[in-house]
Structure 1
C-alpha cells in the first residue's frame, strides 16, 4: 500500500463549482483540483457527482447530449492525471454506456487505467427522466492504498446497500454527490452528513463524500456544499465543508484499520450480524410491496 510515513493515506475531496451544459469548463475545474490535491500529497482524489455535465437538465435530450462513453475526454483525462501524479481518482460521470443508455455513474481510475465503473442504482427525484438505473452490486476495488468501494449520492441513503461494500471488504467508501440544499434547524449539520457518519460507524469503514460547491445555484437549485471525510468511528476528520465556494478537504486516514471490525473485547459489527433473522424481514417487505402493487 502507498502510505505516508505514519502509515496513513491522504484522501482529498475536491468540492467544485460545476455548470450544467459546460463540460469543457467542468473538466478544467476537475483537472485543476486534481493537480492541487496532488501537490498537497493526496493519493486518492474524489470529485462530485456528474462532474462532466452538471445536474439540473432541462430534458432527456440535454442529458443525452452531455453523456460520454468511458473512453471519452473526461475519463481519459482523469487517467492521464492519475498516471502523471501516481494517484487514484474517483469521479461522477454522465455516461453513455456500451448499449447507448444514459447512466449516472462513478468511475475509479489509477495509473493502470480505468479500474471500475458503478452505475447509480437508486435514482433521486426526477433522475428517472434522464437515467437508466444500475442493477449490479457496487464494486470493491483492490488499489495501491487499499480496498475502495463506490456509490453515487442517494445510494448511500440505503444502509443495506452500503453494507454490501463492508461485506466486500472495503476500507474506504468514495461517494460523488450533488446534494440539493434542504432546510435544517439553525446550527445543525446537513442530514446527509449525519447519515454518512452513521454508515461509517456501523460498518467501521472510512467514507469520503464529495459534494459540489454551494456558491452557484443551478437553474434555481441551491446546493449544500457538504463534502466530508469520516473515520470508522463515525467522526468527521475533514469537513463538513465550510466554504461556500470551491474547497479541497484533506484527511490522512489509516485505511488498513478498517479491516478490524471489533468493538471492544466482545463485539464485532460484522460477526455479530443475524442474517437468518433479516431474511424474514426482507421477505415480508417484498410481500407487502407486491400486495400494494396489486
Structure 2
C-alpha cells in the first residue's frame, strides 16, 4: 500500500500558541493540497519547548479540549490522518502527548511520552511504558516521542505487533544530532519498518527530519536549519520482501520478550 506522508519541520516559537497554531494549520493545508494521506507535526508544536511548569499549566489542554477538536475538524475537512503532539493536562498532571486523528476526524488514540529527558522530568509525568500501534485507514502506525526512540525496546514491541511505520515527533537537540542520525536508521533496520522522524528547527534543535526505509536507508532528509515540508511516498508492501532478506523478527520472535502489553488508555 502506497502512502503519501508529510513531515512538517517547523520553527516553533515558545509560548506563542496563536502563531504556532496558525502556522501548523497552514502547513497541514499545504501538505494536504499536495496529496498527503498522513501528516505529522513535531513534538509540542503549539506551546513550544522549554517553558516553565507554570507556563505549561496555563497552556496545556485535555485531549478533549478545543485544540485537539480543531485538529479533528481539520482532519475531517481535508480527509487526512494527523499525528498532533501537544501539551496535555490530565487532572493535576502534565504529559507530552500525541493525538492520532483519523481522516474522519475521530480521535483514535492518545500516546503519552514514556521516557522524559532532562528537565522534562521536573515538569511532566511519564506515560505508561506501553507500546501498541494504532490501527488507521492507512495501516498500523506506531508513535514514539523523541527520547522514546533512543531505546530499542519500544520500537521492537511496535514492530512485533505489526506496525508498518513508526513516527517520531521530536525536539531533538543540536548536541544530540549524531544520535538522531544513528538511532532512527537503527530503529528502522532492527525492526524492518519504516521510520519517520519529525523534528523542529532553531531554538537549539538539529532539524534533519527524515524518512527511513525498513533496511535502514534514508530516503529523504530535511535541512538542519530551515523549515521544511518533507513529503515522501512510502510503499508498505516492500516490508515483506525486506524481511525475507533481513529476517530479524523471524529469528527473534515475540516470545523472546516478557513485557506486558497493556492497553494505552488516556483515561488512566
Q: Which residue of 2 aligns with 1:21?
A: 15
| 1:249 pairs with 2:230 | yes
How far residue 41 of structure 1 moved from its aligned partner, in angstroms, is 0.8
CA RMSD of aligned residues (A): 2.0
1:1-294 to 2 correspondences below 5 Å: 7-57=1-51, 59-97=52-90, 99-110=91-102, 111-182=104-175, 190-214=178-202, 217=203, 222-239=204-221, 241-242=222-223, 244-259=225-240, 262-264=243-245, 268-273=247-252
Distance 1:262 1:20 in 2: 42
Q: 1:230 to 1:152 in 2, by over 3 A?
A: same
Q: Which residue of 2 aligns with 1:285?
A: none
Decide whether the 8 Å contact of 1:116 with 1:139 is kept in 2: no
Aligned residues: 258
- Runs of 4+ aligned structure 1 residues displaced above 4 Å come to 274-279
Q: Which residue of 1 aligns with 2:264?
A: none
How far residue 194 of structure 1 moved from its aligned partner, in angstroms, is 1.6
SS at match of 2:226: coil
Distance 1:274 1:78 in 2: 38
Distance 2:176 2:150 in 1: 18
SS at match of 1:250: strand
Structure 2 gap segments, 5+ residues each: 260-268
Structure of larger gyration radius: 1
Distance 2:255 2:25 in 1: 47
Q: 1:257 to 1:80 in 2, by over 3 A?
A: same
SS at match of 2:249: coil
How far residue 174 of structure 1 moved from its aligned partner, in angstroms, is 1.1
Q: Which residue of 1 aligns with 2:266?
A: none
TM-score (ref. length: structure 2): 0.90
Structure 1 gap segments, 5+ residues each: 1-6, 185-189, 283-294
Q: Deviations over 1:239-279 (max 9, x none)?
A: 0x116221011111112333556243xx6211201677777
How far residue 183 of structure 1 moved from its aligned partner, in angstroms, is 7.0
